Amino acid sequence: MISLTPAEIEALLLSLRISGVAVACALPFAIIVATALALGRFPGRFILDAIVHLPLILPPVVMGYLLLIAMGTRAPLGAWLYETFDLRFVFSWTGAALASAIVSFPFQVRAIRLSLENVNHGLYQAAETLGAGPIDRFFSLTLPLALPGIIAGAITAFAASLGEFGAIITFVSNIPGETRTLPLAIYTAIQTPGGELAAARLAALSIGLAFTGLLLSELALRRIRKRAAS
């Protein structure tokens, strides 16, 4: 078994932490936005849809740049967050998580929305005639029925944020132990003379991680389907 160097372990754990925090923090918002898009009929729905999907089309570097402008400690929003909540995003791992969350947000919303749109609308009507109000219906029907989509979305988003490069390096730079995730570590190794082997090891690690992710998501979906069928 090939053992990992401390720097590799550091990059790996940082990647997992940033992606994990990004997905977990974005999830509630993704559920709300997906529900609004799938079931809601309100003015501006199209605009919300477009904004959610923007990170998919926009170059990640542009996303990073926009975040830098909005969240810098001297930018109004960034300054306000720093002063009120002591929350600083620039050049910190939390910033990397924020960038990952925004970039992977559309993946979560799309998966959840798809599973919500597959739910027979008649079920909501049935629940309504049985005395369930909107919030009750959300928790007793919408959420459990969207669970496969929520899990699929979370896994896809997690995988997407593991690979995020452009937005992170633009927004929070490439600081070892703080923002240097696996892709950034690979980039650094390639830039370093004689770093080919280090880059190859990190790339292999990334591939291994990707496979593990796929395997886990497959197992999770299988369990859900089995549960739904029993």
Partner 1 sequence: MSIGVNVEHDFRNFRLAAEFNIPEPGITALFGPSGSGKTTLVNMIAGLVRPDRGHIQINDHVLFEHSRGINVPVRERRVGCVFQDNRLFPHKSVRDNLFYGARRNPRKLPQDEQQAIIALLDIADLMDRRPNLLSGGEKQRVALGRALLSNPDVLLLDEPLSALDHARKQEILPYLEWLRDHRKIPILYVTHAIDEVARLADHMVVIDQGKTLATGSVFEMLGRTDLAPLSGRFDAGTVLPARIVSRDPKAEVSFLECGEQRLVVPYLGRPKTDQVRLHVRARDVMIARTPPRDISANNIIPVTITKISDEPGDTIDVTMCFGQDADATLLAETSGRPKIHARITKWSGSRLKLQPHQKVFAVIKSVTVNGQLRDR
* Contact footprint for partner 1 (CB under 8 A): 120, 122-123, 125-133, 136, 140-141, 144-145, 147, 228-230
- Token pair listed for 211: 């496979």
Q: Nearer to partner 1 by C-beta: 44 or 122?
A: 122
Q: Minimum CB separation from partner 1 for residue 41, in Å?
A: 15
Closer by beta carbon to partner 1, 63 or else 146: 146
Q: How far is the CB of 38 from partner 1 (least distance, A)?
A: 17
Shortest Å distance, C-beta 122 to partner 1: 5
Question: Min. distance of Cβ 114 from partner 1 in angstroms?
Answer: 17
Write the DSSP symbol of residue 132: -
Select 144 or 208, whichever has its Cβ closest to partner 1. 144
Q: How far apart are CA 48 and CA 57, in angstroms?
A: 15
- Cα 84 to its chain centre, rounded Å, is 25
Nearest to 97 by CA among 162, 176, 9: 162
Asked if residues 170 and 61 have their Cβ atoms less than 8 Å apart, the reply is yes
130 vs 197 by CB, closer to partner 1: 130
Q: Please report how many Cα atoms fall inside a 13 Å half-sphere around the Cα of residue 176, on the Cβ side.
A: 7
> Quick one: tokens of 145?
């029925």
Output the smallest distance, CB 145 to partner 1, in A. 6
Separation of alpha carbons 100 and 122, rounded Å:
37
Total number of residues shown for the chain = 230
- The Cα 176–Cα 193 span in angstroms is 18
Question: Whose Cβ is closer to partner 1: residue 35's or residue 188's?
Answer: 35
